[in-house]
Amino acid sequence: MKQLRQILLWAVLVGIGLLLVLSVIGAFLGDERARALFNSIPLVIFWVLLLGLLAAGLIYFKRLIRSAGLLGVHLGSLLILLGAMLGSDGGHSLAAKLFGSKKIPHGYMRIYERQAGNRILDSEDNAEIGRLPFSVGLKDFRIEYYELEDPWQLIVQSTSVDKESHKNKWLEEHIKWTKGQEVARRLITWADIVTDSMTPGSMAKWGLDYESVVKFKPDIIYYSTCQMGQHGPLSNFGGYGAFGTAYGGYCQIYKPKKKY
């Protein structure tokens, strides 16, 4: 009996040590990889064995039961491990099969400003996977910008065709807004096409608009594209394609096949 207790004690200590090592490894793997690791079959077997060893400790070590402090620590470890197992993906699947309970381990909610909702959507196909027993509202939404110590940087991309391989060559450099005109001019002199996707007036401010570029690169092909056109009351409204589809009403008339 004494030898069995020693084996059990060392087995529990080794299991706790492995648990600490796995916790450190999982912290550096990221959410998705850590989830896959801790829900793998070898780890599930390890969780069950560790849970059994902790439960056996209550049987073979009577001192744990007589001491309220030791009993609380031991039972706390058991409950934490059991809760982690029941809260895992496998635990949710097992509970659904045995008890018919439907729990949602993860998902996301789409809530617009000054609206409320309780629908939980799947992260892959946006299908509804459940509803909360209460509603979550978004009263106000805003983006705050802060001044940075380092100046903003402009990414300049240039492409040309290699005459030997007939493949495009890409050259990318980061240039500071206040000191990058010389670098940009060198890239433009080398390039065939310049693409301007800034809001109107931005490239002119840096001396890189068409009127300025054509003076030192007469054969340049230069085209500009922006969110709300080159002129008009909304021309300075910067953004990407998603803003244009929303503002133009496309998102309102578009009807997907799936009902969300």
In a domain, 77, yes or no: yes
Coil, strand or helix at 190: helix
Q: What is the pLDDT of residues 163-194, one digit of tens each?
A: 555 444 445 444 455 556 778 888 888 888 99
Q: Which two tokens stand for residue 4?
A: 């069995």
In a domain, 42, yes or no: yes
Percent of the chain's residues with pLDDT above 70: 81
In a domain, 222, yes or no: yes
CA-based nearest residue to 196, from 162, 243, 155: 155
- The reply to whether 10 and 31 lie within a common domain is yes
- Looking at residue 33, its pLDDT comes to 83
Percent of the chain's residues with pLDDT above 90: 5
- The reply to whether 78 and 129 lie within a common domain is no
Q: Which two tokens stand for residue 120?
A: 């939980």
In a domain, 177, yes or no: yes
- Looking at residue 218, its pLDDT comes to 92
The answer to whether residue 110 scores a pLDDT higher than 80 is yes
- The reply to whether 164 and 79 lie within a common domain is no
Confidence of residue 54 (pLDDT cuts 50, 70, 90): confident
- The reply to whether 32 and 112 lie within a common domain is no
Burial of 203 per CB tally in 10 Å (0-12, 13-18, 19+): buried
- The reply to whether 88 and 119 lie within a common domain is no
In a domain, 254, yes or no: no
- The reply to whether 38 and 69 lie within a common domain is yes
- Looking at residue 220, its pLDDT comes to 92
Mean pLDDT of the chain: 77
Q: What is the pLDDT of residues 26-49, one digit of tens each?
A: 888 877 788 788 888 888 888 888
- The reply to whether 131 and 169 lie within a common domain is no
In a domain, 74, yes or no: yes
The answer to whether residue 158 scores a pLDDT higher than 50 is yes
- Structurally, the chain folds into a number of domains equal to 3
- The reply to whether 173 and 198 lie within a common domain is yes
Rounded Cα distance, 208 and 185, in Å = 8
In a domain, 58, yes or no: yes
- Looking at residue 260, its pLDDT comes to 45
CATH number (domain holding residue 172) = 3.40.50.10540
Weakest mean pLDDT among 75-84, 152-161, 169-178, 207-216: 169-178
- Looking at residue 178, its pLDDT comes to 52
- The reply to whether 111 and 181 lie within a common domain is no
- Looking at residue 135, its pLDDT comes to 92
Rounded Cα distance, 37 and 44, in Å = 10
In a domain, 257, yes or no: no
Weakest mean pLDDT among 40-49, 80-89, 106-115: 80-89
Average pLDDT of the segment spanning 194-199: 85
Cα(first)–Cα(last) distance of the chain, in Å? 62
Enclosing domain of residue 132: 107-142
CA-based nearest residue to 178, from 149, 155, 154, 214: 154
Helices 2-29 and 41-60 cross at an angle (nearest 10°) of 140
